[in-house]
Structure 1
Amino acid sequence: FAKRKRADGDDDEEDGLNPTKGEKLVPVVEVLRRIKWDDSLPSAEFTIQYLDRILETLETCSFDNPNESVKGTEELFVFAIPEHRIYKVLYKERVVWDR
């Protein structure tokens, strides 16, 4: 994730995932793709919070969880579930994307 300069001159982490006034929210699929393909991001340290439609509860899974329950050819569970069911993306328990 990149850094930006704050108005007071200090560096501030800018992850591109928390929009400031006037910016649009980055779609979760873009965040997931970056985690998957950016070698500098340790995917094993990311977790996803999603809505389980059967249990009707928010569940948490590791980004690297294999897809064993959703029909289709997608190997990773986070890409197999519909985007609208993903509520948060966390890195080491820090929220980096949410609705």
Structure 2
Amino acid sequence: MIPIQDLLHRIRWDPEFGRGEFVIGYYDRIAHEIIRVPFLEVAFPKDGPGVFELIDCEGRTHTIPLHRVKSVYKNGELIWHRD
């Protein structure tokens, strides 16, 4: 299995592979469930290589470690998963 960092880099920087709608599923420790967010709604801070950030509906920024990413979908199809 490809490391999640490598897959996310490929989505961001490989123009051919990066075409399509990507969704990241990560484990939320508060809700105790997998939360799916569109890839276009996440940001990758330059000073935090092992995390991504997202802004919730109330405008708060959340920093999510990459080890909590559990799945990645491309055009609705599961392309990456870990337990």
Identify whether the pair has TM-score above 0.5, normalized to the shorter chain.
Answer: yes
Distance 1:29 1:88 in 2: 13
Distance 1:59 1:33 in 2: 21
Aligned to 2:45: 74
Q: Which runs of 5+ in 2 are unaligned?
A: 47-51, 55-62
Aligned to 2:19: 42
Identity of aligned residues (%): 31
- 2:7 pairs, out of 31, 52, 55, with 31
Distance apart, 1:32 and its partner CA = 0.4
Say whether residues 1:84 and 2:61 are aligned partners.
no
Q: Deviations over 1:51-75 (max 9, x none)?
A: 01221111000011145xxxxx728
Distance 1:38 1:82 in 2: 23
Distance 2:53 2:19 in 1: 17
- Using the size of structure 1 for normalisation, the TM-score is 0.59
Distance 1:97 1:66 in 2: 17
Aligned residue-pair number: 68
Q: Which runs of 5+ in 1 are unaligned?
A: 1-24, 68-72
Distance 2:69 2:2 in 1: 13
* Higher RCO, 1 vs 2 (CA within 8 Å, ≥6 residues apart): 2
Aligned to 1:54: 30
- Aligned alpha-carbon RMSD (Å): 2.3
